[in-house]
Chain A
């Protein structure tokens, strides 16, 4: 539809993120699909429909999915997104 930026970001994932996702997928396949869709969207634009956390997890980006949050870093110079954790919003 002509709204895609010229270049995408490379997505890297930490092992703990993969473990978090596996745990979610075992319980809720729809949510796991949504996380994967969100992950694909982050590769296109990691700063759209998300927010920059200003609290204890400063300098990280947060994208909501359901009652969960993807916490990640964006390295613009390398056009890279590093997925750190997928945590329940109730995990506070």
Chain B
């Protein structure tokens, strides 16, 4: 047995979120659950991650400040898990066991009072409407496959945190280069000349 002085405490890779960041994460999670059917913990994790990545790619901004780690089974976030627990403690979500497609039964998260889902603002809500319409009927397995195929997940080592802020910065730079490119201007002019 090691001596007490020999025991090393490995620091958690998860940074603590501030109060406002936690509230935003809970709001995003509640808004996602309210827009989808048959949401398991798994589907919430994968859809939250995809919403973050697609928000970066389509709006050039983050949806919230949560971090995700690269696990064997795809991206996973302690912050999203904590948001889920906070919503459950507030009574905004609960869990029901129902028959599932690939298992005898599974635990699904559902919103208890739709009127109490915290508003996110028009811009985020419009984005989530469109995002949820796209992935609403996508099963957990396919969602995981899509999440795993994203650029930020692909470029992250197993068990490391996915650098979503770095990805946002890299994409902003790409867009800057794109609009300055004479080659792109020429390709656009070809279409205009049709």
List 9 interface pairs A-B (beta carbons < 8 Å), by A numbering. Answer: A30-B149, A37-B130, A37-B133, A49-B58, A49-B59, A56-B185, A63-B58, A64-B58, A65-B58
| Chain A interface residues (CB < 8 Å from chain B) | 1, 3, 14-17, 30, 33-34, 37-38, 41, 48-49, 51, 53-57, 60, 62-67, 69, 71, 73, 84-85, 87, 89-92
Given contacts A62-B178, A64-B175, A67-B57, contact A57 B188 (CB under 8 A): yes
Least Cβ–Cβ distance between B114 and chain A, in angstroms: 12
Give the interface of B toward A (CB within 8 A).
54, 57-60, 122-123, 125-127, 129-130, 133-134, 146, 149, 151, 171, 174-185, 187-188, 190-192, 194
Contact A48 B58 (CB under 8 A): no
Are A14 and B180 in contact, with the CB atoms below 8 A?
no
| Cβ-closest 8 pairs across A and B | A55-B179, A56-B185, A92-B181, A55-B180, A84-B191, A53-B179, A89-B174, A14-B191
A17 CB contacts on chain B under 8 angstroms:
191
Residue picked from A17, A56, A69, most chain B C-beta under 10 Å = A56
* CB-nearest residue of chain B to A52: B179
- B58 lies within 8 A of A62 (CB): no
Q: Which residue of A lies closest to B151 (CB)?
A: A67
**Given that A62-B178, A62-B179, A84-B192 are contacting pairs, would A89 and B187 also be in contact in the complex, using a CB cutoff of 8 Å?**
no
B179 touches A87 (CB 8 A): no
Q: Which residue of B lies closest to A16 (CB)?
A: B191
Cβ–Cβ contact B190 & A56, under 8 A: no
Q: Are B60 and A64 in contact (CB under 8 A)?
A: yes
A14 to chain B: which residues have CB within 8 Å?
191-192, 194
The answer to whether A15 and B174 touch across the interface, beta carbons within 8 angstroms, is no
- Tell me the complex Cα distance, A67–B53, Å: 11
CA distance in complex: A1, B127 (Å)? 13
Asked if A92 and B184 sit within 8 Å, CB to CB, the answer is yes
